Amino acid sequence: MSLLNRGVLKHNDFQTTPEGGLYLDQDGKRRYFAEYAKELTTPFTVDGHDFTFRELFRRQAERLAAALTRDEPYESFRLPC
């Protein structure tokens, strides 16, 4: 929604399917994935610690692997509301 609200994606970036669905055209996909990559690497602070979503995804995958393979407790990350 943010990409639509900021004008990164526009109505004409979407194509309809015969079944009534929507998909992004090539230019829309290019802009979407560029913004997605930027979002993954943009740092933010939680409880005085700097993170990126890419780092958090990796950390969660490592915690899940440890819980499954070494029977360690799994602790999920939650963004404060």
**Is pTM beyond 0.75 here?**
no
Domain boundaries, the chain: 1-39, 42-81
Element (H, E) at 5: helix 2-5
d(CA 3, CA 54) in angstroms, rounded, equals 20
Q: How much is the average pLDDT of 23-28?
A: 96
Sorted by sequence, the CB contacts under 8 Å of residue 17 that are 6+ apart come out as 23
Q: Is the pLDDT of residue 81 over 80?
A: no
Instruction: Classify residue 11 by burial, with Cβ atoms within 10 Å: 0-12, 13-18, 19+.
Output: exposed
Query: Residue 47 pairs with which residues in a beta bridge?
Result: none
d(CA 28, CA 3) in angstroms, rounded, equals 10
